[in-house]
Amino acid sequence: MRARAERLTELLADAELDALLVTDPVNVRYLTGFSGSNGVVVVGPRTRAFLTDFRYVEQAAAEVHASFDRRRAARDLLDAVADVLAPGEIRLGFEDTRMSVREHARLRRLLPARVELVAASGLVERLRAIKEPEEIEAIHAAAKLADAACERLLRDGLVGRTEREVAVALEHDMRERGAENASFDTIIAAGPHGALPHARPRNVPIRRGELVVIDWGARLDGYCSDCTRTVAAGPVDEAAQRIYEIVLAAQLAGLESVRAGQTGKAADAVARDAIGAAGHGEEFGHGLGHGVGIDVHEAPRLSQRSDDTLSAGNVVTVEPGIYVPGRLGVRIEDLVVVTADGCEILTGMSKRLMVVD
Ligand code: ZN
Ligand code: ZN
C-alpha cells in the first residue's frame, strides 16, 4: 500500500500536481485498503491523509494502511480537505470523472484562494492497470472459483430451465464457494436473445437447439473475474456451429496478438479482421476487451477507439462476438495476464462447442 502511494506521487510530479484528492471509492480502496463507502484520500509528496466519518472510524482503523494519517471528519468529507493540505500544495488534482459540478463548486468555496483545482482523472487507474503478483493471484482464484461453478451448472443441464433460474443458480453456487458476490449481473441469453451483448436473463425456458451465451464472474478478496462461454443446449444447426467456429478462430487470433507493447487498437483489429474476413464484420459491435481488477471494467481497453498500449502485468479480457439479430449470439471470453512476449490465460474452461442437455 505504501508503494502504491509512492508510485502515485511520482505520477503527480509528471502531471505537475502538488497533491491529488482521490474520491473514487475503488481508487480509495486500492490506495488504502478501505472498503467502506465514504472515504477520501489526499496524496502528495508530504501528505498521506485519509478522511472518513464517524460511521467508519473503526473500519478505517482496521483496514487503512498505517502510512496514512487517518482522520475523522464530518459526513461531507470535502469539508476537511483544506485542513490536510500542506502549505506548499497549490495545484490540487481532483478526479473530474468522479465529482459532480455541485461538489466541485463547494470544494472551490471551501479551499483557500491559493489552491488551484486541476482536473486529473485517471492517475490511480494507471497504477491499477498494472497488477502486482498478489493481485494476479486473487484474480486467478476468482476465475477458478467461477469456472468450478459453471462446470457444475452445465452438469445439471440447461434445456427447460429459464434463463433467470440458471443465472440465480450460478450466482448462488459462486457465493457458496466463497465468492463475495457475482462481479457483475450474470448474463444467460438463449437463442435470439443472445444477439443482445448485455442481455438480462428472462423468465423464459431455454429450448433444445439454442445457443446459450453465459457471461459470468466472481468477486473474491475484492478482485473480479470475467469469462464468457457460449454452449449448445442440445444439438444446434450447422449455421450456428459455423458462426461459433468463426468467433473461436477470432478469439484465438486475438489471444495470439496480446503481449506487452501491443496497442489495444491493434489487438482489437486482429480479431475484428478475422470476423470481417468471414463476412460478419457488421455483427461484432463492441470492443475486443477491457482491463479487470477491483473493477470488472477498468484500464486498459482493447478497442477500435483505444489509445492504450498493453504492458506486462495488465489483466485484460479477449472477447470477440458475433450477434445476428433475431437469430443468435456467440461470444467467447477469456481473462489473461499480459506478459513480455504473450499472455497467460486465467480462465480455464474448454472452448470447444459444448453440447449440454
Ligand atoms: Zn464478460
Ligand atoms: Zn468482459
Taking the centre of ligand 1 as the mean of its atom positions, its distance from the CA of residue 333, in whole angstroms, is 6
Q: How far is the CA of 122 from the centre of ligand 1 (A)?
A: 23
* CA 300 / ligand 2 centre spacing (Å): 12
Tell me how far the alpha carbon of residue 226 lies from the centroid of ligand 2, in angstroms: 6
Q: Cβ(139)–Cβ(131) under 8 Å? A: yes
pLDDT at 21: 98
- Give distance in angstroms: CA of 330 to centre of ligand 2: 14
The pLDDT assigned to 31 comes to: 97
pLDDT at 88: 86
- Which ligand ends up closest to the CA of 292? 2
Distance 92 CA to ligand 2 centre (A): 34
What is the chain's percent helix, strand, coil content, to nearest 5?
Answer: 40, 25, 35
Is 132 a residue whose pLDDT tops 80?
A: yes
- Burial (CB < 10 A; 0-12, 13-18, 19+), residue 98, is middle
pLDDT tens digits, one per residue of 296-344:
999 999 999 999 999 999 999 999 999 999 999 999 999 999 999 999 9
Grid cell digits, residue 214: 453465459
Q: What is the dihedral of CA 145, 147, 152, 156, to 10 degrees?
A: 140
Condensed to tens digits (0 to 9), the pLDDT of residues 175-233 reads: 999 999 999 999 999 999 999 988 999 999 999 999 999 999 999 999 999 999 999 99
Q: Helices 238-257 & 264-277, crossing angle to 10 degrees?
A: 150
pTM passes above 0.75? yes
Query: What is the mean predicted confidence (pLDDT) over 78-100?
Result: 93
C-alpha–C-alpha distance, residues 355 and 338, integer Å = 31
| pLDDT band with cut points at 50, 70 and 90 for residue 6 | very high
H/E element, 329 = strand 328-331
Q: Which residues contact 192 (CB under 8 A, 6 or more apart)?
A: 325, 326, 327, 328
Cβ distance 92 to 20 under 8 Å? yes
Q: What DSSP line would sit under 57-88, residue for residue?
A: HHHHHHHS-TTSEEEE--SSGGGGHHHHS-TT
Query: Is pLDDT of 2 > 80?
Result: no
* Ligand 2 centre distance from Cα of residue 219 (Å): 14
DSSP state of 30: H
Q: List, for residues 234-268, the tens digit of each pLDDT value.
A: 999 999 999 999 999 999 999 999 999 999 999 99
113-126: pLDDT as tens digits? 999 999 999 999 99
pLDDT of amino acid 154? 97
- The one-letter code for the residue type at 296 is V
Whether cis (ω within 30° of 0) applies to the bond prior to 320 is no
Q: Which ligand is nearest to the CA of 291?
A: 2
Residue type, 356: V
Rounded distance, CA 293 to CA 287, Å? 18
pLDDT given for residue 87 in this prediction: 86
- The pLDDT tens digits for 21-77 are 999 999 999 999 999 999 999 999 989 999 999 999 999 999 999 999 999 998 899
The confidence score (pLDDT) of residue 245 equals 98
Q: In which band, very low, low, confident or very high, does the pLDDT at 1 lie, cut at 50, 70 and 90?
A: confident
**Grid coordinates representing 31?**
490506495
